[in-house]
């Protein structure tokens, strides 16, 4: 039986394994490629880390500077003479609303403001509330108005509808406050937004606002 050494000697030169010998340049290139890969990975890691930090900072700034819509609360609403049969001859509606800017660092410009009263989705009166006005951060503006005469369109037929609903215990109205506003952040002003605050309010038999409608926050939407 032939030993492994004898078997190896019987193989032809083509069948014998070829021993590869690499030059110093080859190993230098391998080291260079390895260093390049590590540096590339390090640069990518640093870049992604910086990008993540910038993203966190941007998100925090966005949360702190994101404008909040103004908040409106209805405090008083009354229909004078609601219990009188001839109250339609001299009708009057009085209301009191507050506009609150809850933003910490953002002001609000109101180009103008109008208050309108609706009954069964039909406008029965409207009156200007404010001219151009700037409301600073964390401030509240009191809005008081009275609709009567030419600003309030209530005839005998409409008054009878009031009286019929009054006999059931309450009369429902909707006060809409409309304006065009801009947000001010430092020296930058946003584009204009059409703003509408809808305050659903009910009055009792005496024509005064019911407790369920008092001090209620009015929904606000932009158009």
Domain of residue 145 covers 71-222
Task: Please indicate, yes or no, whether residues 209 and 102 belong to a single structural domain of this protein.
Answer: yes
User: Is residue 23 pLDDT above 90, yes or no?
Assistant: no
Q: Using alpha carbons only, what angle is made at residue 39 by residues 36 and 45, rounded to the nearest 5 degrees?
A: 140
**pLDDT-above-90 percentage for the chain:** 61
Per-residue confidence band for 9, with pLDDT thresholds at 50, 70 and 90: low
Task: Please indicate, yes or no, whether residues 53 and 86 belong to a single structural domain of this protein.
Answer: no
Cβ distance 125 to 153 under 8 Å? yes
User: Is residue 12 pLDDT above 90, yes or no?
Assistant: no
Task: Please indicate, yes or no, whether residues 90 and 184 belong to a single structural domain of this protein.
Answer: yes
Q: Write the pLDDT tens digit of every residue in 143-156.
A: 999 999 989 999 99
* Burial track 50-83 (b if 16+ CB lie within 10 A, e otherwise): eeeeeeeeeeeeeeeeebebbebbbbebbbbbbe
Q: Give me the mean pLDDT over the 184-207 stretch.
A: 92
Q: Give me the mean pLDDT over the 79-83 stretch.
A: 92
Mean pLDDT, the chain, integer:
85
Tokens of 222: 């932009």
Q: Report how many domains make up the chain.
A: 2
Three-state SS at 163 = helix
Task: Please indicate, yes or no, whether residues 94 and 108 belong to a single structural domain of this protein.
Answer: yes
Last residue of a domain, one of 9, 34, 66: 66
């Amino acid at each position: 039986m032939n030993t492994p050494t004898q078997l190896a000697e019987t193989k032809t030169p083509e069948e014998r394994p070829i021993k590869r010998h690499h030059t110093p340049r080859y190993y230098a290139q391998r080291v260079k490629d390895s260093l390049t890969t590590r540096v590339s990975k390090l640069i990518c890691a640093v870049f992604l880390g910086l990008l993540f930090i910038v993203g966190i900072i941007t998100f925090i700034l966005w949360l702190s500077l994101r404008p909040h819509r103004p908040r409106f609360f209805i405090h008083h609403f009354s229909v004078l003479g609601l219990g009188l049969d001839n109250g339609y001859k001299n009708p009057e509606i009085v209301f009191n609303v507050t506009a609150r800017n809850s933003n910490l660092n953002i002001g609000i410009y109101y180009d103008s403001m109008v208050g309108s009263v609706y009954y069964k989705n039909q406008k029965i009166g409207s009156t200007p509330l404010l001219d151009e006005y700037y409301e600073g951060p964390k401030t509240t503006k009191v809005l008081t108005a009275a609709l009567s005469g030419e600003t309030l369109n209530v005839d005998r037929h409409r008054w009878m509808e009031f009286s019929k609903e009054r006999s059931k215990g309450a009369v429902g109205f909707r006060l809409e406050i409309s304006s065009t506003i801009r947000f001010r952040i430092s020296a930058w002003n946003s584009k204009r937004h059409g703003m509408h605050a809808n305050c659903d309010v009910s009055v009792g038999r005496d024509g005064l606002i019911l407790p369920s409608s008092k001090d209620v926050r009015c929904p606000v939407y932009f158009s």
